[in-house]
Structure 1
Amino acid sequence: MFELLIYMFENYLSSKSYLDFNNISMELEAAGFDNDDIEEAFDWFSQLKAMSDKIPQAIDAKENTNLRIFTEKEYKKISSEGLGFILFLEQAKVLNSIEREIIIDRAMALNQNIISIDEVRWVVMMALWNNGKENDYLFVEDALYNKDTLTIH
């Protein structure tokens, strides 16, 4: 399903225009994606949107003082590099604590045993784009495609 999430994000969702889910479903089926995976992917994005819509607009990442202790399930499923990347973004004030929790929730919702650093980066990118944080999205996109040159100034 993860490949389908990326495909949908790159081809449909990142445009932020009106989406006709019936047409998209038919196009995805014609492209060879499984109907169950398509439904799971739509559910995944719907949950992301629902969670993001609940974020208070007044939250300031600079005032972020919450300490996060990961659960055993999170440690087992999300790679240590992925968890480190999430913490890095929070410390760099790219994410606030609520966005961090949304990203962890969406990573845990993926139907696979292990979530790699690249998959975490994609989840972060989709969450930031969905929250209207395009500039931060571009930072993560750079981290995804230019892994050797990631720096914060």
Structure 2
Amino acid sequence: MFDILMYLFENYIHSEAEVMVDHDVLTDELTRAGFHQDEIYKALTWLEKLAALQDSESYAYLTRVARPSVRIYTAEEMQLLDTECRGFLMFLEQVNVLDFSTREMVIDRVMELDTQYFSIDDLKWVVLMVLFNVPGQESAYSQMEDLIFDEQEGPLH
């Protein structure tokens, strides 16, 4: 499923190509690209839920609350997000790429991925997808792009 999300992001969203809204046409194209039908459905559902997150009441509440928070991860979250990933999320908050509401959106989307292995590189792409889909996060998106595409030497956090 993550491969499909990456394919869509790189070929439609990130390239600023016109995003197709017809699910049948998009599904046919993804099938021709070699993806399986059930994985395509999961990926499209994942994207729909991402779009729905910014419209949800919980996101609206989080954006109104202006105080910082400390994140306590559940056992399931810690199993998927290793120490490096959790440290990177904290780093992104410290440099104002993520705020606590976008952090929660990222964690929500990570937990919805159908995968047993998740790397920090995967996390970076999920962060980009979330920031791209949240209005008003253009600067944070640009910063995240710089972090991904202008590889730094040494640790970032």
Shared fold (TM-score greater than 0.5)? yes
Unaligned runs of 5+ in 1: none
2:43 partner amino acid: A
How many residue pairs were aligned?
151
1:26 matched to which residue of 2?
28
TM-score (norm 2): 0.84
8 Å CA contact 1:64–1:96 kept in 2: the answer is no
Aligned residue number for residue 12 of structure 1: 12
Q: Give the partner amino acid of 2:2.
A: F
The offset of 1:60, in angstroms, is 7.1
Question: In the alignment, which residue of structure 2 is the partner of 1:3?
Answer: 3
SS at match of 2:60: coil
Give the drift of 1:17: 4.5
State the TM-score, normalized to the length of structure 1. Answer: 0.86
AA at the equivalent of 1:118: D
**Is 2:135 aligned against 1:137?**
no
Task: Decide which of 35, 60, 66 is 1:56's aligned counterpart.
Answer: 60
Pairs within 5 Å for 1:118-137: 118-132=121-135, 133-137=137-141
What is the alpha-carbon distance in structure 2 between the residues aligned to residue 7 and residue 117 of structure 1?
A: 18
Equivalents in 1 of 2:27, 2:154: separation in Å? 36
The percentage of counterpart residues that share the same residue type is: 36
* Contact 2:110-2:123 within 8 A present in 1 as well: yes
**Match of 2:52, as an amino acid?**
A
Distance 1:48 1:41 in 2: 11
Report the aligned-residue RMSD: 2.5
1:116 is aligned to 2:139: no
Structure 1 residue aligned with 2:48: 46
**Whole-Å separation in 2 of the counterparts to 1:110 and 1:29:** 20
- Per-residue CA deviation, residues 93-137 of structure 1 (Å, 9 max, x unaligned), is 222212111100111111111211001100000000000322211
5+ residue gaps, structure 2, are none
